[in-house]
Amino acid sequence: MPPIEIRPGVHWIGVNDRTTDLFEGLWPITQEGVSYNAYLINDEKKAIVDLSKSLKTDDFLDQIHQIVDLSELNYVIVNHMEPDHSGVLRTLRRVVPGVTIVGTQKTKEMLEGFYGITDHIQVVEDGDTLALGDRTVRFFSTPFVHWPETMMTYLEGEGILFSCDAFGGYGALRGGIFDDQCTDFGFYEKEALRYYVNIVAVFSRPVLKAIDKLKDLPVSIIAPSHGLVWRENPGRIVELYQEWAGYAGGPGEIGVTLLYGTMYGNTEEMMNAVAQGVSDEGVPLDIFDARHTHVSYILPSLWTRRGVIVGAPTYEGALFPPVAQVLSMAGTKRIRNRIATHFGSYGWSGGAQREFESFVDELKWEMTEPFEFRGGPTDDDLRRGEAFGAAFARRIREAV
Ligand SMILES: Cc1cc2nc3c(=O)[nH]c(=O)nc-3n(C[C@H](O)[C@H](O)[C@H](O)COP(=O)(O)O)c2cc1C
Ligand SMILES: [Fe+2]
Ligand SMILES: [Fe+2]
């Protein structure tokens, strides 16, 4: 995409990625894409804020060149060292050897570790400023949003906060880069939540700390390093992030994630009865087949909803593996404070139940009465399954 001026002398020079299948090598974005937003402040001194993944590097350099000659660049401000933002750094440094890299002390250490760069580095501390001419930027240390070295850059006067990973989302930009140009906010919010839970959720406490730290700063534009630039309503994405971070310690909203898997259909037959019971009670329900759904898409529901029903048969004395993998990722993402139960079919001595209990122990979830049956469910089993679903839904509705 060509550069886009977001304020006089301040340009978006990002890269729209519709090529990568897995963000961080893990999270599917084949359908959705993602953007790596970078910015150029064109003053007496020329500074780039954030860079891009090493992808279409020639286009990236061309974009800069449309505004200033590359040799005129003075600073590259590295808010965050993750290679989705620093990937083009080594090439840029070779093209413009004199450019000064600005970052925190930890960034300096990582520059050597990741790229062997040890010179022309300016270390900044929390609150430091850098004069660019008519404009001045200020740096705020925001450790662990997303890595320990992370900071944010604030353009004084204009009130633009370059927030890096914070306030970002999946989803390649669709022409317009601004929130007021977004015509499908439902999609964007969903993808921003999926990004939040996949990437940032573990760091929810640092996110809330950063939001609190910057709460008195006059911000007119939030310019993150992924997704929309917020100029009409920057408060909206801050509120969403605050809400999502709140789930880290909270009980979650009334609703049930029904996660299941099946080898030969017995557990699935029961799943339909259990789902019927939950919906009879009018409690919102998300159903995921762990065999076909990437955990990336399941995590947002687990993160936000109070109840978790796991339907999984016994496989080799343990929980059906595709379901176990999702629960293991729930542990990695530190999803806490959930009320959970299990149902499933077994053939002889079972074992799924036991492994489920050890997951629940590890996750520190509360467990309610489980429900197992042998082989194919009888009509009576199915009636019990429906009652089991309804009882669980009532429990979720009543839990405070
Ligand atoms: C590969 C495989 C391994 C199994 N391992 C066990 C086991 O260790 N213990 C047990 O009680 N049942 C075991 N079973 C039996 C299943 O739990 C039983 O067939 C159940 O009805 C499968 O439910 P589903 O139709 O939802 O896949 C196994 C079945 C398969 C196909
Ligand atoms: Fe990151
Ligand atoms: Fe990122």
pLDDT tens column, 63-114: 999 999 999 999 999 999 999 999 999 999 999 999 999 999 999 999 999 9
User: Position 309: which residue type?
Assistant: I
Q: Would you place residue 249 in the very low, low, confident or very high pLDDT band (cuts 50, 70, 90)?
A: confident
Q: Are 67 and 4 in contact (CB under 8 A)?
A: no
**Mean pLDDT within 124-147:** 98
**Mutation test of ligand 1: which of 272, 274, 346 has the most ligand atoms closer than 8 Å to its C-beta?**
346
| Atom 15, ligand 1: residue with shortest CA distance | 347
Pick the ligand that lies closest to the CA of residue 271: 1
Structure tokens at 75: 């600073």
Question: For 143, phi and psi rounded to 5 degrees?
Answer: -60, 145
Helix/strand/coil percent split, the chain, to 5: 35, 25, 35
pLDDT surpassing 90 at residue 148: yes
Cβ(314) to ligand 1 under 6 A?
A: yes
Structure tokens at 1: 């995409």
Structure tokens at 206: 């640092």
3-state secondary structure of 368: coil
pLDDT surpassing 90 at residue 380: yes
Model-wide pTM > 0.85: yes
Cβ(118) to ligand 1 under 6 A?
A: no
Cα–Cα distance measured from residue 157 to residue 134, given in angstroms and rounded to the nearest whole number = 10
Cα–Cα distance measured from residue 151 to residue 210, given in angstroms and rounded to the nearest whole number = 10
Cβ(346) to ligand 1 under 6 A?
A: yes
Cβ(52) to ligand 1 under 6 A?
A: no
Q: Would you place residue 399 in the very low, low, confident or very high pLDDT band (cuts 50, 70, 90)?
A: confident
pLDDT surpassing 90 at residue 40: yes
Q: Are 34 and 17 in contact (CB under 8 A)?
A: yes
Cβ(267) to ligand 1 under 6 A?
A: yes
Closest approach atom of ligand 1 to CA 376: 21
What DSSP state is assigned to residue 178? B
Q: Compute the CA torsion angle 362, 364, 367, 370 (nearest 10 deg).
A: -20
- Separation of 37 CA from ligand 2 center, angstroms? 12
Q: Which of 139, 138, 130 is nearest to 104 (CA)?
A: 139
Give the chain's domains with CATH numbers: 4-246 (3.60.15.10), 253-398 (3.40.50.360)
Q: Which of 108, 138, 137, 110 is nearest to 121 (CA)?
A: 108
Residues facing residue 371 across a β-bridge: 343
- What is the reported pLDDT for 229? 98
Structure tokens at 395: 């429990």
Cα–Cα distance measured from residue 143 to residue 261, given in angstroms and rounded to the nearest whole number = 39
- What is the reported pLDDT for 27? 98
User: How many CA atoms are closer than 13 Å to the CA of 162, on its beta-carbon side?
Assistant: 31
Residues facing residue 143 across a β-bridge: none
Residues facing residue 311 across a β-bridge: 260, 343
Q: Would you place residue 32 in the very low, low, confident or very high pLDDT band (cuts 50, 70, 90)?
A: very high
DSSP string, 257-290: EEEE--SSSHHHHHHHHHHHHHHHTT--EEEEET
Cα–Cα distance measured from residue 330 to residue 250, given in angstroms and rounded to the nearest whole number = 15
Largest interatomic CA distance in the chain:
79
Ion ligand 3: residue ranges with CB closer than 5 A: 84, 165
Beta-carbon contacts of 399 under 8 Å, excluding residues fewer than 6 positions away, are 251, 306, 339
pLDDT surpassing 90 at residue 253: yes
Q: Compute the CA torsion angle 68, 71, 72, 78 (nearest 10 deg).
A: 90
Cα–Cα distance measured from residue 374 to residue 385, given in angstroms and rounded to the nearest whole number = 13
**Mutation test of ligand 1: which of 263, 310, 353, 381 has the most ligand atoms closer than 8 Å to its C-beta?**
263
- Separation of 288 CA from ligand 3 center, angstroms? 27
Determine how many CB atoms are found less than 10 A away from the CB of residue 268: 16
Q: Are 252 and 304 in contact (CB under 8 A)?
A: yes
Pick the ligand that lies closest to the CA of residue 351: 1
Q: Are 107 and 50 in contact (CB under 8 A)?
A: no
pLDDT surpassing 80 at residue 400: no
Place of tokens 């925001």: 142
